[in-house]
Amino acid sequence: METPKCTKDIFGSNVFNDAVMRERLPKNIYKAFVQARKGNQEMTPAVADVIANAMKDWAIEKGATHYCHWFQPMTGLTAEKHDAFINPTADGRTILEFGGKELIKGEPDASSFPSGGLRATFEARGYTAWDITSPAFIREIGKNITLYIPCAFCSYTGMVLDKKTPLLRSMEALSKQAVRVLKVLGNTEVKSVIATLGPEQEYFLVDRKFFEKRLDLLLAGRTLFGAPSPRGQEMEDHYFGSLNERVATYMNEVNNELWKLGVSAKTQHNEVAPAQYELAPIFSTVNVATDHNQLTMDVMQKVALRHGFVCLLHEKPFAGVNGSGKHNNWSVCTDTGVNLLEPGNTPHDNMVFLVFLCAVIRGVDKYSTMLRAAVATPGNDHRLGANEAPPAIVSIFLGDQLTDIFEQLASGKAKSSKQGSDMKVGVTTLPPLPKDTTDRNRTSPFAFTGNKFEFRMVGSSQSTAGPMFVLNTIVADVLCEMADQLEKSKNINADVQKLLQKIVKEHSRIVFNGDNYSEDWVAEAEKRGLPNIRNCVDSIKTIAQPEHVKLFGRHNVLSKVELHAREEILLENYAKTLNIEAGAMLNIGRRQILPAVMEYAGLVADSLNTISDAGGSCTTQKKLLTKMTDLIDRLNDGLENLAESIAKAKAISNVEKKADAFKDKVVPAMVEVRAASDELEALVDAEIWPLPTYAQMLYVR
Ligand code: ADP
Ligand code: MG
């Protein structure tokens, strides 16, 4: 057996990080690299050559045979094309080569990635460009060992085709505007700021033997049929419960794989629903955290198979129990190491904090529709507003202390901060606990949590890039407005106070500390004029509206054409996803469920005939048979209607109308089919029912 290594030695062992670079690169090259990474100078071909060579040597020592540009197309997943280092020589041997050119630029055929009309299929060229802000790493997949180079991805004409480029651009925009604001507030030391992200990843594990018998899980990642298990999550005994051994062993292997990749997997626990879990890393810059989250999702899925599990990342794999989200903890930090959302002990006189806090509040209220659209995915439609996750209404939780200060700001100057106290537990042997100034609120979609905001609407399967580039940009936009005003100010203190007062007055409607799951809030939010866009199709349609075009254009994050392309890609994605789900449903309904229920109805009929021939009364058989045949008719009618509505939706060529048809016609048809089938499931002989049940999938491990 291999001697287990200490975590300290494992961590980052497959990453071409700063420690490795310092060791392997000439000093001047490393320095030039760091300057380029800070954006202070361009990476020259000569520097790239030296780095490429060092990277190659390092990778080959670790057993790598290939390298790949690793990028994030609009599918929301990652893409990679591997090339071997080999380069044959004239004498029939080979040398292993990898130069600056290969490191900096790749040229994959882009024609099969979603482009939203940005690139005609015959113009196949796409480029990948090395993202020097995210370190290269080595992955071992099966026996294949490959050097991965994180990259951005664009078309031949320079149009953005990926999720990373707008994220990087939004980080620059945020940095630029934040530095301007800090400067007028008297801080001239700070050269740049970075947005930070800690994404909490929720997921389900189901036994592979059940998964394989469920075409819906296999093709759509969620169950399309399934009567509720008699035991759901009502005992509230899974959340933070003692870990199951097989699951714990799985988590251990996931952690080790992630640590090797430099992903700081930190927290793990059972989540609310049975078979649901969470993994949270320590936060890092939004760019690296996004790359790491992509790796995390991939590693979690691959490792699961080794343990006889399948890891489900869908937002709603099972009806009736909680779905999965990905809480995005976000903050802004200076290059001098100060968290700008750290309130300190007396937030009321922490001007920098109040300015940044108010910038976020104004940004979120002003662009709540765009923020909502950043989490508009078909999977999330089953989650948002379903009384287990935040509703589709964007609001902000500030907590007692900050709400009090926020209200003080409305009347001019904030003069005091409510203080936390010690909490006595009432047992002399237990220490007094310092009490936080504010309780938690689990129902808020956008909550201030101590020294960061937590954006909780993000879906579990989503790339964090989208929600994060939107958040960065809307905050950058408000900071830009602020800087424009304050740079002209003759009396900063007075003008800041006026500015904050105005923000508080205009945007207090977005602050809500109560229960976001309650019906009352929906009514209250409507009174306050807060948008409530309940489904993703309507939300996606808001993406390219004029104020969003201006917003992203102003900060060079996305051009008008690029934004329109995104809207189109997302609508197409919706239609395609629903088409797969509906198709899988038809297939299962016709080829598995109908035959099974007819078989059982036949058995009941046989029993009825046999027993009534023998003179029995057969009341039960008659009742059951009537009930079954009614439901079978209902199921069959439902399936016919579903088939028809799919065909109609597919025939529509306009992408908006097509998405609408799937939402308005196919989705209700699917609901009806499921209702009939789930009722039948509760009647049919367990031996005959063709699909593993909810109870098996949620409780067997
Ligand atoms: P919760 O109690 O909300 O479930 P977790 O510990 O699961 O908390 O996750 C909190 C996440 O927030 C972690 O990933 C943590 O690293 C991250 N976080 C902490 N501080 C910051 C910050 N300043 N910026 C971004 N993320 C942060
Ligand atoms: Mg958590």
Query: Looking at residue 673, which CATH number applies to its domain?
Result: 1.20.120.1560
Backbone angles phi, psi at 459, to 5 degrees: -80, 155
Which element (helix H / strand E) includes 478?
helix 465-486
3-state secondary structure of 206: strand
Query: Do the beta carbons of residue 72 and residue 118 sit within 8 Å?
Result: no
Ligand 1 mutation pick, 174, 193, 200, max ligand atoms within 8 A of CB: 200
Q: 123-132, 241-250, 421-430, 462-471 — which is least confidently predicted?
A: 421-430
Question: Is residue 116 in a domain?
Answer: yes
Positive/negative CA dihedral, 111, 117, 120, 124: negative
Q: Is 280 in the pocket of ligand 1 (CB under 6 A)?
A: yes
CATH of residue 214: 3.30.590.10
Assess whether pLDDT exceeds 90 at residue 389. no
Residues 106 and 183 reside in one and the same domain: no
How far is Cα 569 from Cα 563, in angstroms, rounded to an integer? Answer: 10
Nearest-CA neighbor of 164 among 156, 172, 81? 172
Ligand positioned closest to the Cα atom of 454: 1
Q: Of the candidates 161, 180, 206, which is a domain's last residue?
A: 161
pLDDT of residue 120: 62
Residues 473 and 356 reside in one and the same domain: yes
Q: Is 198 in the pocket of ligand 1 (CB under 6 A)?
A: yes
Q: If you average pLDDT over every residue of the chain, what do you get? A: 94
Q: Is 677 in the pocket of ligand 1 (CB under 6 A)?
A: no
Taking each helix axis from N to C terminus, what angle separates 667-681 and 560-588, rounded to the nearest 10 degrees?
30
pTM score: 0.96
Assess whether pLDDT exceeds 70 at residue 123. no
Nearest-CA neighbor of 208 among 199, 216, 218? 218
3-state secondary structure of 256: helix
Question: Is residue 565 in a domain?
Answer: no
Question: Is residue 567 in a domain?
Answer: no
How far is Cα 599 from Cα 661, in angstroms, rounded to an integer? Answer: 35
Question: Is residue 419 in a domain?
Answer: yes
How far is Cα 98 from Cα 85, in angstroms, rounded to an integer? Answer: 6
Cα(282) to ligand 1 centroid in Å equals 7
Q: How far apart are the first and last CA of the chain?
A: 26
613 burial class (0-12, 13-18, 19+ CB within 10 angstroms)? exposed
How far is Cα 363 from Cα 452, in angstroms, rounded to an integer? Answer: 15
Assess whether pLDDT exceeds 90 at residue 660. yes
The Cα angle at residue 681 between residues 677 and 683, in degrees rounded to 5: 120
Cα(199) to ligand 1 centroid in Å equals 7
pLDDT band for position 481 (cuts 50, 70, 90) = very high
Q: Is 339 in the pocket of ligand 1 (CB under 6 A)?
A: yes
pLDDT of residue 442: 83
Query: Do the beta carbons of residue 66 and residue 84 sit within 8 Å?
Result: yes
Q: Is 291 in the pocket of ligand 1 (CB under 6 A)?
A: no
Per-position b or e across 531-543, b if 16+ CB within 10 A of its CB: eebebbbbbbbbb
Question: Is residue 2 in a domain?
Answer: no
How far is Cα 649 from Cα 576, in angstroms, rounded to an integer? Answer: 11
Measured from the CA of 341, which atom of ligand 1 is nearest? 23
Beta strand spans in 543-650 (E)? none
Q: Is 285 in the pocket of ligand 1 (CB under 6 A)?
A: no
pLDDT digits (tens, 9 = 90+) for 218-253: 999 999 999 999 899 988 888 999 999 999 999 999
How far is Cα 647 from Cα 634, in angstroms, rounded to an integer? Answer: 20
Structure tokens at 491: 């009396």
Q: Whose CA is nearest to atom 4 of ligand 1?
A: 200
How far is Cα 169 from Cα 154, in angstroms, rounded to an integer? Answer: 13
Query: Do the beta carbons of residue 334 and residue 195 sit within 8 Å?
Result: no
How far is Cα 255 from Cα 249, in angstroms, rounded to an integer? Answer: 10
Residues 324 and 431 reside in one and the same domain: yes
Q: How far is CA 141 from the centre of its chain?
A: 24
Residues 105 and 153 reside in one and the same domain: yes
Residue type, 196: T
pLDDT digits (tens, 9 = 90+) for 14-57: 999 999 999 999 999 999 999 999 888 999 999 999 999 999 99
Which element (helix H / strand E) includes 567?
helix 560-588
Measured in residues, the chain has a length of 701
Count CA within 13 A, CB hemisphere, residue 688. 18
Question: Is residue 498 in a domain?
Answer: yes
Assess whether pLDDT exceeds 70 at residue 4. no
What is the number of structural domains in the chain?
3
Nearest-CA neighbor of 291 among 151, 422, 392? 151
Residues 514 and 651 reside in one and the same domain: no
How far is Cα 145 from Cα 138, in angstroms, rounded to an integer? Answer: 7
Q: Of the candidates 525, 558, 591, which is a domain's last residue?
A: 558
Question: Is residue 344 in a domain?
Answer: yes
Residues 316 and 345 reside in one and the same domain: yes
Backbone angles phi, psi at 132, to 5 degrees: -75, -5
How far is Cα 529 from Cα 517, in angstroms, rounded to an integer? Answer: 18
Residue 627: other Cβ atoms inside 10 A: 15
Residues 105 and 199 reside in one and the same domain: no
Residue type, 54: A
484 burial class (0-12, 13-18, 19+ CB within 10 angstroms)? exposed
Q: Which DSSP letter does residue 147 get? A: E
Residues 252 and 326 reside in one and the same domain: yes
pLDDT of residue 586: 98
Residues 338 and 445 reside in one and the same domain: yes
Ligand 1 mutation pick, 200, 258, 329, 452, max ligand atoms within 8 A of CB: 329
pLDDT of residue 411: 87
pLDDT of residue 1: 53
pLDDT digits (tens, 9 = 90+) for 585-631: 999 999 999 999 999 999 999 999 999 999 999 999 999 999 999 99
Residues 286 and 145 reside in one and the same domain: no
Helices in 120-194 by DSSP H: which ranges?
Answer: 164-184
Which pairs from 679-683 meet CB under 8 Å and 24+ separation? 679/227, 679/631, 680/593, 680/597, 680/628, 680/631, 680/632, 680/635, 681/225, 681/226, 681/227, 682/227, 683/600, 683/624, 683/627, 683/628, 683/631
Q: Of the candidates 126, 143, 161, which is a domain's last residue?
A: 161
Question: Is residue 515 in a domain?
Answer: yes
The residues facing 144 across adjacent strands are 141
pLDDT of residue 419: 82
pLDDT of residue 122: 56
501 is in which domain, residue-wise? 170-558
pLDDT of residue 158: 82
Nearest-CA neighbor of 677 among 579, 582, 594, 603? 594
pLDDT digits (tens, 9 = 90+) for 329-378: 999 999 999 999 999 999 998 999 999 999 999 999 999 999 999 999 99
Residues 45 and 184 reside in one and the same domain: no
Residues 506 and 628 reside in one and the same domain: no
Mean predicted confidence (pLDDT) in 406-415: 88
pLDDT band for position 413 (cuts 50, 70, 90) = confident
Ligand 2 ion: Cβ-proximal residues, 5 Å cutoff: 200
Nearest-CA neighbor of 386 among 275, 279, 522? 522
Assess whether pLDDT exceeds 90 at residue 668. yes
Ligand positioned closest to the Cα atom of 194: 1
Helices in 27-77 by DSSP H: which ranges?
Answer: 27-37, 45-61
CATH of residue 14: 3.10.20.70
